[in-house]
Amino acid sequence: MDRILVTGGAGFIGSNFVHHLLAQTAARVTVLDKLTYAASREALAGLPADRVSLVVGDVADPGVVEPLVAEHDAVVHFAAESHNDNSLADPSPFIHTNLIGTFTLLEAVRKAGTRLHHVSTDEVYGDLELDDPERFTESTAYNPSSPYSASKAGSDHLVRAWVRSFGVRATISNCSNNYGPWQHVEKFIPRQITNVLAGGRPKVYGAGLNVRDWIHAEDHSAAVWTILTRGRVGETYLVGADGERNNLEVVRTILRLLGRPEDDFDLVGDRAGHDLRYAIDSTKLRAELGWAPSYADFEAGLAATVEWYAAHEDWWAPHKADVERAYAAKGQ
Ligand code: NAD
Ligand code: DAU
């Protein structure tokens, strides 16, 4: 795999994966990214021009996608609209990018015979009760709740159909909630860290009891590379780092790390259809492909993330006021 096309490579996890490729392989990388509000050119700044190039374009545009796919050995597909709250406000871009975009890419890899890895989410499985001893596995039934997760579920089904009916060489990963540098301030952890750094208070939906299974973005990148290079075509692998925490625990840890009282937050209006709990059983990925997370200690990873946001105010501050205005208009 000398030439790798990374869709959505200017986003939070896609850019992390590009850095991972540069550090761990000799591959040349092309990023295809529409540079939506969620993208960050800064996350790719300073990378060597002889190894990385950026094509600004839409993954749902076959005129852009087909020639690009044909000149690469593999495609790793991160491009998506990724925020549940936005999908509740306006599902349309989610249908365009997550469904039409994945369809467009599948047709291109079908024609060119290029290997594809499709990056998906644990949200396709719906949610679990707080006291359910089971976690999601590769055989859990699909049951998505939001327009975002339904569009990702649909994209997974398209990939499986193209594998079975057309012999496309694809794998799928479904990962839990990522955290780390360069995540947009609309998302939970960056929103709360930057609220505190900006002198405000964290905003927790509902009663704050919803559980997410946190994994550092670098561990997700390593898992994607492992699956791309060692995974079995046609297979799905769940990615998770045993990082279950409820939202109150996460916010209290952020407050403590920033030297504020642990009750210095607001409970705000809940998200419509809010999934209660996600939990990943990643035994297949660990046992079959030998992957293991390197950020085993969530609190240590979160402390490093808090420090990163404190040091990168120039990057997030220009977006902060608009994001908070939009949340405030919804009572969140
Ligand atoms: P993100 O929103 O930070 O980045 C998405 C990137 O895709 C942006 O750079 C954006 O410009 C680009 N993009 C959007 N529409 C496009 C289009 N039509 N054509 C080309 N590029 C387009 O998202 P993220 O959090 O980095 O998530 C990346 C992928 O990982 C997504 O597929 C998401 O479903 C999946 N995922 C995310 C998480 C998480 O916790 N963030 C967990 C599991 C899976
Ligand atoms: O599970 C994987 C998914 O994780 C990915 O597929 C998505 O792309 C990614 O955005 C993330 O989805 P969530 O909806 O779980 O993440 P979010 O950061 O939006 O919210 C995490 C939890 O925090 C969730 O229970 C909602 C809650 N929340 C969120 C925000 C923005 C709050 O309590 N307050 C907030 O301000």
Q: What type of residue is 70?
A: A
179 catalytic per annotation: no
What is the rounded CA–CA span in Å between residue 35 and residue 221?
A: 20
pLDDT for the residue 182: 98
Helix spans in 258-329 (H): 283-289, 298-311, 313-329
Q: Which ligand is nearest to the CA of 173?
A: 1
235 alpha carbon to ligand 2 midpoint, in Å?
A: 27
Q: Which ligand is nearest to the CA of 217?
A: 1
208 alpha carbon to ligand 1 midpoint, in Å?
A: 25
User: Domains of the chain (ranges plus CATH)?
Assistant: 3-178+215-239 (3.40.50.720)
Q: What is the pLDDT of residues 223-232, one digit of tens each?
A: 999 999 999 9
What is the rounded CA–CA span in Å between residue 226 and residue 280?
A: 18
Calculate mean pLDDT across residues 162-186: 98
Q: Which of 33, 58, 81, 122 is labelled catalytic?
A: 122
pLDDT for the residue 323: 98
The ligand 2 atom nearest the CA atom of 192: 36
Q: What is the pLDDT of residues 65-105, one digit of tens each?
A: 999 999 999 999 999 999 999 999 999 999 999 999 999 99
79 alpha carbon to ligand 1 midpoint, in Å?
A: 5
* Ligand 2 pocket member 226 (CB < 6 A): no
What value does the mean pLDDT of the chain take? Answer: 98
Cβ within 8 Å of residue 300, ≥6 positions away: none
- Tokens 């969530």 correspond to what residue? 298
Q: Which of 33, 58, 81, 123 is labelled catalytic?
A: 123
Checking phi first, is residue 5 left (phi over 0); if not, alpha (psi -120 to 50) or beta? beta
Cβ within 8 Å of residue 16, ≥6 positions away: 43, 180, 181, 182, 217, 218, 220, 221
131 catalytic per annotation: no
Calculate mean pLDDT across residues 149-170: 98
* Ligand 2 pocket member 268 (CB < 6 A): no
Q: Which ligand is nearest to the CA of 35?
A: 1
pLDDT for the residue 1: 86
Q: What is the pLDDT of residues 11-46, one digit of tens each?
A: 999 999 999 999 999 999 999 999 999 999 999 999
Q: CA of 188: how far to CAs of 41, 50, 58, 72, in Å? A: 22, 36, 27, 35
* Ligand 2 pocket member 212 (CB < 6 A): yes
Would you say 72 and 49 are in contact if contact means Cβ atoms under 8 Å apart?
Answer: no
**pLDDT over 90, % of the chain:** 99
Q: What type of residue is 281?
A: D
122 catalytic per annotation: yes
